Structure 1
């Protein structure tokens, strides 16, 4: 007697609505809505010296717009420096750390990089490293009031952010060094608690890579002018001359030659931010994007936010864990293979690019929900994630 044929599960049906813009990468990030290369080129002083009057004025305009949109207090300096956020943060560390004890806060890969440099390269004598696993925050109550504090406001590779600056003492003796590269323009930065702030154009602004922004409080300037580190500093790290701050760095006189096309692109992004309503509007856009994605996560059984504590969840670099029992039971290598299969399906359909989790993070997804992304695209992405998961799992 013949056996009945096995019943095969039907393949999932593809969604009909596609994200208009599939760029969900966490860096470089999506361009602003309506961006065109022609509009940027029209602003750019190509083939001109960055020291000429008009190009230099555009560099100063980028600085002034940055300060204006972010609400940087009077007396703080804003400068454009080489080598993206990494260059800006390294410049600050090498120029200012060593004057007093240091607490390094680590809960993802970039913070770990700063801690490695502090302990192995700078070889700071009194340097504590406070760590937490991906998706968690270290015990912020343990930071010392007399120490310099180095931390990422938003963990780009873990999706965990500090919920506020209340844990930073108002009467601190040390300086705070804040890597805000995926927090700027999308999260609330309490300037009275921050002395050194760095970020890059290619994150929340959707700008081009290669340039960093360095913001210094008056206390940070005082440190630069009073502390002489016991190590050589390369030219691109030097912020003082003769014991005084090189003010030109914060007036458009860059340390090395910038890309004037990238500068024009940054001005284009900042002008758009001003047009839509400034910081309130840019933060609201990121919040709306995160709400759209988290709403889908809450309704979806196979995925969870990597960050369990809601208050610590990033609204920009949102990291997700695949918790479906069959996938979660696989070893790490097999889980990464599954993520690769899932993300390739989405890329082949042209609906989501570059959303695999960071290579050092737990296997999963990382979806950028920053200011330049549209909430409609985030909402359209959810069904495609379900389709790709079901297809890859089948």
Structure 2
């Protein structure tokens, strides 16, 4: 639709569109946590049972192969990625793909902190994917499945070779539970509960293929590894991590919340139901964008558009003729106005991304709330434009 100064009459029932922590699942209440194993040791029989249940149900919903391991680890998705990079890299050259801010963070880790010598950086600007055909799978490969700050995802796993020599290490925090992951293409995958499941923050998940386990058991990096990063000891995988024996003390309230999210996921049809809800949210915005005279997807190709972190750029000539500083100011005012009206919280684009909006479309968001939001975007843009001309 075109920009409009007419104030919409319907507001989203749940105006939470943050890309992390994300909206709680529909119907969520703190009373759902009343059976949490609080005041007890996470090493107790009941505590371990809760952690083990999260692990097994997560594997089942995600369709993870039986011979893969899934472990709950500290420090959210960031901690899980750091564990993988520091524990596994160095044996082979490394190809790193980066097309947004978090990919750049892993580049910094590998180049500046690990100081690995043989690195091939494959970059692209916001809105685009790197040339996937240039990846050398004789190397270890580090990439994101979905760029949370750019709204650009890999379209599928066809570009990943089955007969690869290196490991594929995938940050999938805004893709897991919302996109189809071909597990035979993945050796290490990380995510956190705070994204598509709408869980609480600070806990990460790492998934390992048998090939990744073999690397851990046969390769010892020369660098020292902090306790929080250690997944193997004396040439053997620390199996307890993948059975609920966490490295450090987890929040059992967060564990209970994760179980609540998994319960809900199963009730709506598991992974297929979760994907359907996310794709429905993307489709609603796509239909609106098609008729918009001021907004467009930041992702340049339709097959790479994220269905979770949906990033929009402003294409109106009035806006594009502004200075970069003025563009950033307009985008901030736009998000602020939506928040002031209590129709959308936390929709500002990421600080290093092109100025625009970022709307979370993960499975916990109702499509009806997305649809109710869209007229407000037109109103807010028209209002900011009229006040700044």
Q: Under TM normalisation by the shorter chain, which class is it?
A: over 0.9
Q: How far apart, in 2, do the equivalents of 1:180 and 1:280 lie? A: 17
TM-score by length of 2: 0.97
Deviation at 1:342, TM superposition (A): 1.1
Q: Which runs of 5+ in 2 are unaligned?
A: none
Match of 2:281 among 268, 286, 289: 289
Corresponding residue for residue 379 of structure 2: 387
Unmatched 5+ stretches in structure 1: 1-10
Distance 2:316 2:192 in 1: 36
- Match 2:328 to one of 322, 326, 336: 336
Return the offset for 1:13: 2.1
1:224 aligns with 2:200: no
Instruction: Provide the C-alpha distance between the structure 1 equivalents of 2:62 and 2:305, rounded to a whole number of angstroms.
Output: 21
Q: What is the rounded CA distance, in whole Å, between the counterparts of 2:363 and 2:331 in structure 1? A: 26
Question: Which residue of structure 2 aligns with residue 243 of structure 1?
Answer: 235
Question: Do structure 1's residue 201 and structure 2's residue 193 form an aligned pair?
Answer: yes
Matches of 1:148 and 1:336, distance apart in 2? 37
One of 144, 149, 153 as aligned partner of 2:136 = 144
Query: How many angstroms apart in 2 are the aligned matches of 1:304 and 1:182?
Result: 21
The separation in 1 between residues aligned to 2:72 and 2:137, in whole angstroms, is 30
Residue 343 of structure 2 is aligned to residue 364 of structure 1? no
CA distance in 1, matches of 2:344, 2:284: 16
Aligned length: 383
**Cα shift at 1:43:** 2.5
Q: 2:38 aligned with 1:38, yes or no?
A: no
1:281, distance to aligned residue in structure 2 (A): 0.3
Rounded Cα–Cα distance in structure 1 between residues aligned with 2:179 and 2:93: 28
Aligned match for 2:14, one of 11, 21, 28: 21
Please show how residues 169-184 of structure 1 align to structure 2 within 5 Å: 169-184=161-176
Q: Distance in 2 between matches of 1:258 and 1:293?
A: 37
For the residues of structure 2 that align with 1:332 and 1:69, how far apart are their CA atoms?
Answer: 44
Q: Which of structures 1 and 2 has the bigger CA Rg? A: 1
Task: After TM superposition, list the pairs within 5 Å mapping 1:288-327 onto structure 2.
Answer: 288-327=280-319
Structure 2 match to 1:118:
110
Q: 1:70 aligns with which of 53, 62, 65?
A: 62
Q: Which runs of 4+ in 1 moved over 6 A?
A: none
Q: Counterpart of 2:345?
A: 353
Q: Distance in 2 between matches of 1:46 and 1:74?
A: 30
Separation in 1, partners of 2:298, 2:115? 33
What RMSD over aligned residues (CA atoms) do the two structures have, in Å?
0.8
